[in-house]
Structure 1
């Protein structure tokens, strides 16, 4: 069942819909859950957890082999950390988890054409999975998006619209198009979040059904932190794991609406005046699901953090010297670690998982400019 987050109206899952008539976003509820012993022999994709994903017709499942990304132990800033390498997903970002499920549901609904807006990664991912599903896609992105992401989108066959101005102006342009075409937005779709739950399931499975103490992730629109929370919540409720990990939502200081709302103990996320940031994937002035993001942080007894541009670039370089080449948005999560340890928020001996969400190959133009341009 699709339930409106604002008015509580219930909508059937058999009819294509991306928001409630009242204008608010929808939440997917009432899906099932797998049993760990049932997973043996299943494919190593997000579809090994199919009971929890809300796609009813197996023939509609769209996959490029997403999921089952490595969980690698690495020394970082003097401590042992487990890095979840979602940067190794088929299109190079964690968004593939959500795109696989969202495009599968769109296929089940027989939707023939979609529009999406993105800072780049989600657009590339949706374009790839739309190509796989045989669904025409229009993707709107800021003109300033990384060149690698723009090339991906066009090569996958989507119609690319580069929008001058802010990320918010890109969304406005896509919404105009959505008056005529189904809006398959990763920031709105409850099925996209359902796909992101699989990150929590995988982390738990890779740790032999033991939850880590902390999971650290970058936050822009908030889909990943919501997917992690919902996934671990389901595992806790089913007593598959014995506790909820504490979540750390990391933003860039240049655009940190969730961090400011959390520190000010607000119930809603207010829009902020943002500055330019290398972490383009989390540069969202006011996320659609702000209240839910804050609830996930607080209910997990987690924290929010904001990191400076210099910290992001330093973390990116440090990760690369450990063999992990990620884009600045991914590096933001790792950049928060030193402060969390130094302040005593994360204590010695606690098990920490950090989501590395996107490959550095997507942002090589910006990486080269920062590290290798003289002057």
Structure 2
């Protein structure tokens, strides 16, 4: 992203995230003496951020959610005349996210039948879909996989819209203060992004689903016991989605499934 910013003459920018991308960008800014960045986060996501105390990076905590922090970042950028990293709609960010999937495909000896990822805006999923459209040109894969997206049941506007056969979400679908386990994917207002996700699910024969709190806890425990992997609940949501898909017969026992385990929070659910 910083390379693209330099290419377009951007030396100072504003951004917001639930933690991962702001942390990564802040560390990258420290390596580039010509760059300066201002990050915003909702109060519930402070512990997910690790923005170094540095003269060229700052972190502003906003009362409220990720949506509130994004709105404040947008206001600040407009007032200061600075570039706003618009997240989902930043194609440079998508190109970076795409690399994780291309690296995964390079290590696989077959084309996955299904790709599963937990979603908030679904930016990573959009990037993955772009990669799957491009990689057949190299001969690395021979068909388009199905895309299965999952949200936590307590905050699943996209899953609700999909289940009801709608291509758009409305203000009635917004969840003002989502609070549950999978903090990295608790996005209460998915209206700007959902049409893109709906199209990907429709075009690939996939779906947008949800997983309950109990299913997330069970999936995370299963990963620990069977694979020795301690992941966050947003990542565990993918395993819950695979279990649900297999139980419903939507994922066959011989299917090759590629799941994306992302996120950084490792706090156990309260009893």
Q: TM-score, normalised on structure 1?
A: 0.66
Aligned: 1:277 with 2:175 = no
Equivalent position to 2:62, from 152, 155, 163 = 163
In 2, Cα distance between the equivalents of 1:224 and 1:270? 23
Provide the residue aligned with 1:352 in structure 2.
257
Q: Counterparts of 1:273-312 in structure 2 under 5 Å?
A: 273-274=174-175, 275-287=178-190, 288-312=192-216
Structure 1 residue 212: Cα displacement: 0.6
Aligned: 1:206 with 2:107 = yes
* Pair 1:109–1:269, CA change in 2 (3 A): same
Provide the residue aligned with 1:15 in structure 2.
none
In 2, Cα distance between the equivalents of 1:317 and 1:137? 38
Aligned: 1:130 with 2:29 = yes
Aligned: 1:119 with 2:18 = yes
Q: Counterparts of 1:182-221 in structure 2 under 5 Å?
A: 182-208=83-109, 210-221=110-121
In 1, Cα distance between the equivalents of 2:52 and 2:90? 23
Q: Which has the higher helix share?
A: 2
Deviation by residue 1:119-171 (Cα, 9 ceiling, x = unmatched)? 11222122122223332111111111152x23x12357631111111221111
Provide the residue aligned with 2:150 in structure 1.
250
Equivalent position to 1:328, from 217, 227, 233 = 233
In 1, Cα distance between the equivalents of 2:27 and 2:169? 32
Q: CA RMSD in A?
A: 1.9
In 1, Cα distance between the equivalents of 2:136 and 2:195? 22
3-state SS of paired residue (1:187): helix
Unaligned runs of 5+ in 1: 1-101
3-state SS of paired residue (1:161): strand
3-state SS of paired residue (1:258): helix
Equivalent position to 1:261, from 161, 186, 194 = 161
Provide the residue aligned with 2:219 in structure 1.
315
3-state SS of paired residue (1:306): strand
Count of aligned positions: 262
Structure 1 residue 286: Cα displacement: 2.8
Unaligned runs of 5+ in 2: none
4+ long deviations beyond 3 Å: 154-157, 237-240
Deviation by residue 1:238-276 (Cα, 9 ceiling, x = unmatched)? 554211111110101111121112112222233524331
CA contact (8 A) 2:106 2:140 kept: no
Structure 1 residue 283: Cα displacement: 1.3
